[in-house]
A and B are shown apart, each in its own frame.
Chain A
Amino acid sequence: MSVDIIDIGSGNICSIKNWLERVNIQVHIINHPKEASSNFLILPGVGSAGPYMQRMKQSGFDEVVLEHVANGHRLLGICLGFQIMSDYLEEDGGVEGLGILSGKVEKLPSNVSHNSWEKFVFNRSELGEQTFQSKRKLTRKRIIDGRVFYNHEYGFISQESKRFNKSICERYSQYSSMVVKGAVIGVQFHPEKSQKTGLELISMIL
């Protein structure tokens, strides 16, 4: 199996590559829309929403992502890559998202960002009708009990009523930590920097 990582010049690509290679997954970093070939696409994200979306549109990667989802292929969005899947982002005076996940992205309260590790307890059975669409269901870990690393200033408020939605923590209960909608997975935390829990999660997803 191989995974495509979209590179629009927005940081932390090598961390994601290292993360996947630790679980023996072949990685292709794609810089051009025509290079996309895998059924599993990762949309990383570091930076500011406005310039990020601008680069997505200029490069044509927005169309690639939408087509990938329309074809029922798997997509994983990380941090800002997750946030731009929403309908609307409040950052940079307002940015229209890709509209893959129904919801909006708002600034966290108190003008303080969320840079911290939070407990992450997750049982795969909680997904209900949603699944990670992994072909290897029986051999995969079912329960994760660890911690994940967050570094964000804006939070995703999901309006997907019938989809899997896990909140960040008690303090940020209105914001999503992980949303799963069919083949689309969005995570607010950085699994590639979440040590053992990050490895457990990617093993479960893949």
Chain B
Amino acid sequence: MLVDGMCYQSYNWNKYRPLGALQHVVDMLEEYHCDEIAIIRPARNNDSFSAFKHDVEVLKHINTMTPISFGGGVRDSKALHFLKDLPVERLIFSSAFIKQKIDLISEATQIFGRQAIQCLLPCAMKSKELQIFCCDNASYVPVKQLDQKIIDEYANEVVIYDLLNEGEVDSFDFSLLDQFSFSRQKIVVSGGIGSNSIGEANRQQLASVLVDNKVLHSEYSIKGYKHAAKL
């Protein structure tokens, strides 16, 4: 997570553990041969363009040879154009997909290519119903309100983010996937990922996993996780 130009590990979507400067964190992950780094701004309804601009400036100056995906706060065309010439391969949209801002996503596709578009769906089971957190409004919407066809059409990959298990180990709730009609090859899972959940993701032939914890406090985690995925 990138907040005010600094990195944090987030737990259960509401607690932050400081990790330091972005370049420092990226350097460590590169050292551990991380395949890709996802940098997410937890932009809520009180996010401003100046805060977005500040974080993007920090991102603009990182020097890395590891692929980067970035998202959080890209809410209009102005913000989108500000992302040109970043050392970023992929863009992550969440609220834009939930609120069906097709013009914005279409424009992003034209500028960055369809291969660059990821959709992030922060999910939580609430009252036995799957709810998706819409960051833009800072509120939950039922999964049935989600237009999965549009997401399937425009998003190259869909990140299913288990909010209730974020920061935990081996607790990702795979039953969440039953609520979605996307091809398994398009799905990336995150939130509570550990060796066992990587094994399960591998069995289900998912696209990949996003490891949200342990990365920075255990040098050998990445190697162990790759072994679990038989990479």
Selected from B89, B109, B115, B183, the residue in CB contact (under 8 A) with A12 is B89
B183 and A153 contact, CB distance less than 8 A: no
**Residue contact B85 to A11, C-beta cutoff 8 Å:** yes
Residues A153 and B114 in contact in the complex (CB < 8 Å), given A112-B183, A112-B185: yes
Does any Cβ of B come within 8 Å of A152's Cβ?
Answer: yes
Taking a contact as CB atoms under 8 Å apart, the answer to whether A195 and B33 are in contact is yes
Asked if residues A9 and B35 are in contact (CB atoms below 8 Å), the reply is no
Among A128-153, those with CB < 8 Å from B are: 149, 151-153
CA of A18 to CA of B85, assembled, Å: 12
The winner among A9, A11, A110, A190 for most chain B CB atoms within 10 A is: A11
A169 close to chain B: CB less than 8 A: no
Complex-state Cα separation, A51 to B112, whole angstroms? 10
Q: Is the CB of B109 within 8 A of A151?
A: no
Name the segment of B9-17, B58-66, B141-149, B172-180 touching the other chain: B58-66
Interface set, chain B 1-39, CB cutoff 8 A to A: 30, 33, 35
A159 CB-CB contact with B under 8 Å: no
Known: A115-B207, A193-B66. A18 touches B87 (CB 8 A): yes
B156 at the binding interface (Cβ < 8 Å): yes
Interface residues in B77-115 by Cβ distance below 8 A to A read 84-90, 109-115
B157, CB-defined interface residue at 8 Å: yes
Contacts known (A47-B112, A51-B110, A153-B114); A194 close to B65, Cβ less than 8 A:
yes
A34 to B67, CA, bound (A): 32
- Closest chain-A Cβ to B91's Cβ sits at a distance in Å of 10
Q: How large is the interface on A (under 10, 10 to 19, 20 to 34, 35 or more residues)?
A: 20 to 34
Asked, given contacts A14-B60, A14-B87, A48-B110, whether A152 binds B67 with beta carbons under 8 Å apart, the answer is no
A21 to B85, CA, bound (A): 17
Please give me the residue from chain A that is nearest to B231 by CB atom: A117
A37 within 8 A of B: no
Looking at chain A's contact residues, the main secondary structure is: mixed
CB of A13 within 8 Å of the partner chain? yes
A46 within 8 Å of B (CB atoms): yes
B183 contacts A199, C-beta separation under 8 Å: no
Are A115's CB and B87's CB within 8 A? no
In the complex, what residues of B have CB within 8 A of residue A192's CB?
65
In contact, B110 and A19 (Cβ under 8 angstroms): no
CB contacts (< 8 Å) of B186 on chain A: these are 112
What are 26 A-B contacts with C-beta separation under 8 Å?
A9-B85, A11-B111, A11-B112, A12-B85, A12-B87, A15-B64, A15-B65, A15-B87, A18-B63, A19-B65, A46-B113, A47-B110, A48-B114, A51-B110, A113-B115, A115-B90, A115-B156, A115-B157, A149-B35, A149-B67, A151-B116, A153-B114, A153-B115, A153-B156, A192-B65, A193-B65
The 10 closest A-B pairs by CB, nearest first: A15-B87, A153-B115, A113-B115, A193-B67, A18-B63, A47-B113, A195-B65, A112-B185, A113-B156, A48-B110
Residues of A within 8 A of B (CB): 7, 9, 11-15, 18-19, 22, 46-48, 51, 80, 110, 112-115, 117, 149, 151-153, 190, 192-195, 198-199
Given A7-B85, A153-B115, 17 extra CB contacts under 8 A: A11-B84, A12-B88, A12-B89, A14-B87, A18-B65, A46-B89, A46-B116, A47-B111, A48-B114, A113-B156, A115-B207, A117-B35, A151-B115, A151-B116, A153-B113, A193-B66, A195-B66
